Amino acid sequence: MEKIRLEPTLALPMPVTLVGAMVEGKPNFMAAAWVTRVNVKPPLIGVAVNHRQYTGQGIRETGIFSLCLPGPDAVAKTDYCGLVSGRKVDKAALFDVFYGELKTAPMIRECPLCLEVRLTQTVELPVDNFYIGEIVAGWADAAILTDGAPDVTKYRPLVLTMPDNRYWSLGESVADAWSVGKVFKKGESE
Ligand SMILES: Cc1cc2nc3c(=O)[nH]c(=O)nc-3n(C[C@H](O)[C@H](O)[C@H](O)COP(=O)(O)O)c2cc1C
């Protein structure tokens, strides 16, 4: 099929998170979608944060941050956390905030799945800093677990698409990963 050239500013579908950090001694949260796992062992995760974000100041101050996954019920609060800065309003007042093992990674009780993260590396980029950190612990509502693991059909993560700027829920599972492709294997090893 013929391909149409697009501008390089396009973005792939992304998970919607709330990044938390203590800034000037108080919890703050911002919406972030430029988030990805970057290493298997130790378990590292990275988030791209624009230099101007108040949350980034807290990540640099404390070396600690959190990532919480809001469900559909929290979409408006999440969007709000992406519209206004903690420099101007107390966004943490919207939430029931809790702390885990690191004691200084603010997390959100309404979010069914949260990670607390210790900063290990900062990659300085022209507009963003890419903060990479080790996941120290995950915290999940018991109700979203199936056989001890988070079950997306229960916690219903949000996905962001750009440039249409919309939040989505996941659709149906289409196949099992590391499995469905085996039909093409002809005896080759991994
Ligand atoms: C859905 C959504 C996703 C966002 N993703 C990011 C992101 O990945 N990185 C970033 O720096 N800002 C992102 N933003 C913008 C920040 O959340 C926004 O500028 C926020 O006000 C920063 O808050 P703070 O100054 O309290 O840290 C996003 C906003 C929305 C609505």
Question: By percentage, how much of the chain surpasses pLDDT 90?
Answer: 97
What count of Cα atoms within 13 Å lies in the side-chain half-sphere of residue 66? 32
Residue with tokens 């915290």: 139
CA dist 97 and 102 (Å) reads 14
Structure confidence at residue 187 (pLDDT): 78
pLDDT at 24: 98
pLDDT reading at 73 higher than 90: yes
Residue to mutate (ligand 1; options 23, 26, 30, 130; most atoms within 8 A of CB): 30
Residue nearest atom 16 of ligand 1, based on CA coordinates: 82
Ligand 1 atom closest to the CA of 83, numbered from 1? 21
Q: Which residues pair with 43 in a beta bridge?
A: none
With a threshold of 0.85, does the pTM exceed it?
A: yes
Q: Are strands 128-140 and 113-124 parallel, antiparallel or unpaired?
A: antiparallel
Residue burial 105-139, b: 16+ Cβ < 10 Å; e: rest: bbbbebbbbbbbbbbeebeeeeebbbbbbebbeeb
Mean pLDDT along residues 139-163: 97
| Ligand 1 site, residue 150, Cβ cutoff 6 A | no
How far does the centroid of ligand 1 lie from the alpha carbon of residue 6, in Å?
24
Q: Which of 16, 19, 23, 53 to mutate to test the pocket of ligand 1 (most atoms within 8 A of CB)?
A: 53
Give me the pLDDT at residue 190, please.
Answer: 67
- Residue 147 pLDDT: 97
| pLDDT given for residue 99 in this prediction | 98
Is the Cβ atom of 53 under 6 angstroms away from ligand 1? Answer: yes
Q: What is the pLDDT of residues 40-55, one digit of tens each?
A: 999 999 999 999 999 9
